[in-house]
């Protein structure tokens, strides 16, 4: 029987590096059948995930049909009201059912294990639907034809079409086609590529890049949706239509009421369904369970939750309205749910075993959430990556440690149910208990890649730089993979990946794009004409500033188009002051305004390239500018090209605690942050610097870029994550690598990311776990912001390549989330294997 967590760390994986070797590199984690604490229900649910690995998802078009029906019937109404009516139409009519092993009610799509396609982002051409079917998605001809019929209405009305209509032909449309943001825009109807999006849940929005924020779910858990409805109705009585703002406010409040009333009706549908099924059920245990479902759904989310189970049921209903999205936050889950847990434990209504099973159920349900994207995006989301984050640990408003029993139970759920999603982030501060660190590191040692670690000092410091109060800053949580947000008081809307090495290519060629034969950037001088390093670096900075400015405009257009097409009344009511505001959260300034995030990838490749240019061309003068350009343009071909390639590879590299090399990383990240702070947004305020990658975005990013002076070949994958050295270039040990990363002022950034790959032998003992904890704490004290850790032997990954079925549960951490290794493309697997694997903490 599971008891309340004790302060003593306990290694229950039973796996060490020695056992891996002894078993000839078998999958190091116990199978689900070997986990004695896992209930039969969770074991059955885990087996259903085998279907997920095949990628053969049933496609439903019910939501698309209902949304299209609604929008056709509401022409002329305010957009925010139209969106609310569309949500209501879906919630009132979408088919519902109760799964046999569900602990809570609320299906995510009209089909079991299914995904709902929509045309809100862009139409689905017939060819793209066939490509989707070829990729394993199950769709009948009749369903395909229904989507094609929906296309006819949405043509010219999608978010993509609104975005591209705002691009001028001289600057922003050419910029969108450059590939600086991935993938390059194809035409003004399709934008990033043909095909809409798909996902689970019933919100009306662009499914991948919805609001990246942390909503105040606890408002509904504590007081119910009826409290929101009562407040909205009261606010309506106060409105006098004497200004444009008052009219907008009335529209928003009407939309909130429509949406939340519909959610209450949706829950009531499940209460009625559960009651009907209970009446027909002959098994006493199942009948009792169905009756409990009916009781919960009849109460929440309309009323405040009284128990832990009611709180989770209420949260689940809310998540179904925030979905669909590849980006989601469950907030500080150990804080949000703790009052209900504590009350139930004190009253003897729930056990820790039951709580862990509930957390395991949430993980498996999250695994069943799928983001169906067009083929142009699928290589960016390798391994079916998504970014559904929850946070544990950290501080209370007064600075005291916030760790509680749920912090440990969330970790136990991952130990017993080691699936990639939802991802988990653990906040670390000086007062973080060592037992919690040990429990987290035991999970890392087991090969889950979970949790990632965030520095409270850096994250809170960043927020305070933006005038967030210390109390609010201490309450930060994470949305998506790593976006720091204040719950209810901030949200990012535009946060795309900017391929920084392309800027270096333009700087080397006087702003000319050798791929297209067009002038892409300003004329800053020919590389062969620069006499000094300082002249060239000034030219690069000019190019970078130019493209950062274009990216800020690009993001502003995205935010404007999103706000105009898919305003969000539901989420607005879950934000601070949402019912007192004139506009929804896509149309107003928030207390911490971080709507526009400027986010580069490949910056370390740029830094190492600048170092090589300075070293080889200007300081040591062993290569002329013309020779370097010729070598890059030929991808290091010929005898001289090969010789220069070896010199480039041997040049000093970031990640070795070498100030000569690290200086370039420090300076370009400083330049990026300073330039971002100068650029305005459509929400007011300034742009925010961020520095993260997602999924496997470094691969399509690298495909856009020719050979670079750091020694990288044309088309090769870029460096992983923002603070991580280029693979195989960090040659001086783990401590040196961490010291290099800590030199960068990460506190200026909303998010940074550092990926570390450790051999399993490093943390297979109490001493190793202690050393791992010290590594994290020391890095954060030195200024680091984030660490995600892969503990895996390259030999295990090689074995998984040879026998994927035997290693189908093998996890690796990529781009802010964990994924199944065998679901990654072979070239991505190879990149993971090539990353530097440390065998010592020195």
Question: Splitting the chain (842 residues) into consecutive groups of 10 residues, what average pLDDT does each group show?
Answer: 39 32 43 68 90 81 96 97 98 97 96 89 87 87 94 89 92 94 82 78 76 94 98 97 94 98 98 98 97 98 98 98 87 98 98 98 91 62 74 98 98 95 96 98 96 98 98 96 94 93 98 94 97 98 98 95 93 96 94 96 97 98 98 98 98 98 98 97 94 79 94 95 95 97 98 96 96 98 97 96 94 89 91 94 95
Q: Say whether both 807 and 827 belong to one domain.
A: yes
Give the model's pLDDT for residue 377.
59
Q: Say whether both 734 and 826 belong to one domain.
A: no
Q: Say whether both 715 and 607 belong to one domain.
A: yes
Q: Say whether both 800 and 757 belong to one domain.
A: yes
Stated pTM of the model = 0.94
598 backbone dihedrals φ, ψ, rounded to 5°: -95, 115
Q: Say whether both 625 and 694 belong to one domain.
A: yes
Q: 816 near 692, Cβ under 8 Å?
A: yes
Give the model's pLDDT for residue 209.
58
Beta strands in 719-822 (DSSP E): 755-758, 786-791, 811-814, 817-820
In a domain, 667, yes or no: yes
Q: Say whether both 712 and 775 belong to one domain.
A: no
Token representation of residue 357? 């099973």
> How far is residue 686's CA from residue 625's CA, in Å, rounded to a whole number?
38
Start-to-end CA span in the chain (Å): 40
Give the model's pLDDT for residue 57.
84
- Residue 18 burial (C-beta neighbours within 10 Å; 0-12, 13-18, 19+): exposed
- Domain containing residue 394: 9-38+381-482+753-842
Which of these three, 718, 749, 780, is where a domain ends?
Answer: 749
> How far is residue 810's CA from residue 818's CA, in Å, rounded to a whole number?
10
The H or E element that residue 259 is part of is helix 244-280
Ramachandran region, residue 815 (left: φ > 0; alpha: ψ -120 to 50; beta: rest): left
Give the model's pLDDT for residue 5.
43
Q: Say whether both 404 and 456 belong to one domain.
A: yes
In a domain, 28, yes or no: yes
308 backbone dihedrals φ, ψ, rounded to 5°: -60, -45
In a domain, 594, yes or no: yes
Which of these three, 749, 784, 799, is where a domain ends?
Answer: 749
Give the model's pLDDT for residue 732.
97
Neighbours of 724 (CB within 10 A): 25
Q: How many residues in total does the chain contain?
A: 842
What is the number of domains present in the chain? 2
In a domain, 151, yes or no: no
Q: Say whether both 454 and 602 belong to one domain.
A: no
Q: Say whether both 575 and 642 belong to one domain.
A: yes
Q: Say whether both 620 and 685 belong to one domain.
A: yes
In a domain, 119, yes or no: no
In a domain, 263, yes or no: no
Give the model's pLDDT for residue 8.
33
Give the model's pLDDT for residue 380.
54
Which of these three, 749, 783, 805, is where a domain ends?
Answer: 749
In a domain, 459, yes or no: yes
Q: Say whether both 613 and 509 belong to one domain.
A: yes
> How far is residue 685's CA from residue 687's CA, in Å, rounded to a whole number?
7
Q: Say whether both 780 and 732 belong to one domain.
A: no
In a domain, 595, yes or no: yes
């Amino acid at each position: 029987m599971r008891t309340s967590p004790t302060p003593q760390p306990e290694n229950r994986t039973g796996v060490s590096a020695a056992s891996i070797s002894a078993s000839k590199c078998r999958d190091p984690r116990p199978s689900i059948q070997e986990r004695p604490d896992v209930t039969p229900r969770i074991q059955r649910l885990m087996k259903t995930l085998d279907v997920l690995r095949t990628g053969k998802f049933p496609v439903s078009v019910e939501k698309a049909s209902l949304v299209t029906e609604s929008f056709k019937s509401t022409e002329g109404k305010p957009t925010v009201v139209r969106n609310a009516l569309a949500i209501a139409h879906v919630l009132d009519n979408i088919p519902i059912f109760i799964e046999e092993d569900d602990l809570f009610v609320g299906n995510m799509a009209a089909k079991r294990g299914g995904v709902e396609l929509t045309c809100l982002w862009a139409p689905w051409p017939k060819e793209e639907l066939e490509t989707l079917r070829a990729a394993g998605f199950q769709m009948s001809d009749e369903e395909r034809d229904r989507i094609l019929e929906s296309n006819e209405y949405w043509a010219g009305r999608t978010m993509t079409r609104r975005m591209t209509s705002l691009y001028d032909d001289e600057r922003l449309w050419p910029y969108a086609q450059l590939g600086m943001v991935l993938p390059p825009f194809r035409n003004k109807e399709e934008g990033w590529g043909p095909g809409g999006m798909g996902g689970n849940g019933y919100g009306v929005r662009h499914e991948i890049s919805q609001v990246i924020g942390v909503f105040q779910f606890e408002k509904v858990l504590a007081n119910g949706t009826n409290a929101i409805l009562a407040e909205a109705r009261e606010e309506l009585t106060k409105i006098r239509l004497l200004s444009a703002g008052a009219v907008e406010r009335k529209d928003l409040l009407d939309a909130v009421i429509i949406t939340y009333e519909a959610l209450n009706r949706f829950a009531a549908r499940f209460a009625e369904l559960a009651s009907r099924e209970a009446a027909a059920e002959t098994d006493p245990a199942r009948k009792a369970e169905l009756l409990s479902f009916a009781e919960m759904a009849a109460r929440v989310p309309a009323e405040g939750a009284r128990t832990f189970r009611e709180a989770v049921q209420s949260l689940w209903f809310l998540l179904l309205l925030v979905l669909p999205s590849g980006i989601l936050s469950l907030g500080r889950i150990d804080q949000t749910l703790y009052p209900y847990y504590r009350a139930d434990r004190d009253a003897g209504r729930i056990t820790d075993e039951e709580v862990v099973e509930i957390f395991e159920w949430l993980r498996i349900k999250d695994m069943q959430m799928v983001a169906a994207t067009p083929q142009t995006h699928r290589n960016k989301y390798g391994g079916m990556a998504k970014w559904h984050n929850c946070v544990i640990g950290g501080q209370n408003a007064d600075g005291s440690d916030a760790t509680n029993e749920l912090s440990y139970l969330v970790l136990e759920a991952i130990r017993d149910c080691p699936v990639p999603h939802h991802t988990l982030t653990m906040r670390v501060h000086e007062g973080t208990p060592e037992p919690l660190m040990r429990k987290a590191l035991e999970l890392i040692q087991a090969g889950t890649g979970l949790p990632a670690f965030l520095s409270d000092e850096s994250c809170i410091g960043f927020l305070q730089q933006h005038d967030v109060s210390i109390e609010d800053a201490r309450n930060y949580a994470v949305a998506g993979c790593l976006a720091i947000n204040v719950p209810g008081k901030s949200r990012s809307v535009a946060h795309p990946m900017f391929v920084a090495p392309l800027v270096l290519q333009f700087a080397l060629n006087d702003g000319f794009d050798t791929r297209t034969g067009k002038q892409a950037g300003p004329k800053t001088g020919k590389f062969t004409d620069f006499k000094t390093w300082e002249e060239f670096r000034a030219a690069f900075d000019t190019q970078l500033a130019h493209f950062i400015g274009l990216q800020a405009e690009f993001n502003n257009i995205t935010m404007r188009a999103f706000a105009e097409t898919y305003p969000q009344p539901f989420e607005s009511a879950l934000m601070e002051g949402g019912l007192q505001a004139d506009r929804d959260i896509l149309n107003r300034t928030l207390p911490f305004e971080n709507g526009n995030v400027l986010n580069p990838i490949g910056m370390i490749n740029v830094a190492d390239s600048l170092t090589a240019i300075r070293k080889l061309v200007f300081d040591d003068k062993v290569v002329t500018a013309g020779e370097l350009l010729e070598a890059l343009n030929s991808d290091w071909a010929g005898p001289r090209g090969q010789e220069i390639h070896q010199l480039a590879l041997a040049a000093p590299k970031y990640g070795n605690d070498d100030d000569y090399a690290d200086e370039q990383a420090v300076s370009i990240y400083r330049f990026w942050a300073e330039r971002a702070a100068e650029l305005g947004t459509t929400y007011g305020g300034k742009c925010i610097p961020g520095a993260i990658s997602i999924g496997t975005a470094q691969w399509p990013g690298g495909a856009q870029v020719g050979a670079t002076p750091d020694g990288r070949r044309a088309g090769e994958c870029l460096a992983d994550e923002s603070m991580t050295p280029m693979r195989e270039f960090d040659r001086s040990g783990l401590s040196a690598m961490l010291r290099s990363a800590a030199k960068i002022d990460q506190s200026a950034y909303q998010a940074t990311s550092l990926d570390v790959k450790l051999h399993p032998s490093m943390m297979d003992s109490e001493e190793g776990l202690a050393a791992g904890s010290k590594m994290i704490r020391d890095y954060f004290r030195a200024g680091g912001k984030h660490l995600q850790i892969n503990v895996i032997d390259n030999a295990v990954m090689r074995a998984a390549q040879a026998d994927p079925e035997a290693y189908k549960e093998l996890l690796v951490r990529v781009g802010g989330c964990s994924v199944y290794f065998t679901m990654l493309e072979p070239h991505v697997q190879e990149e993971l294997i090539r990353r530097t694997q440390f065998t010592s903490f020195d």
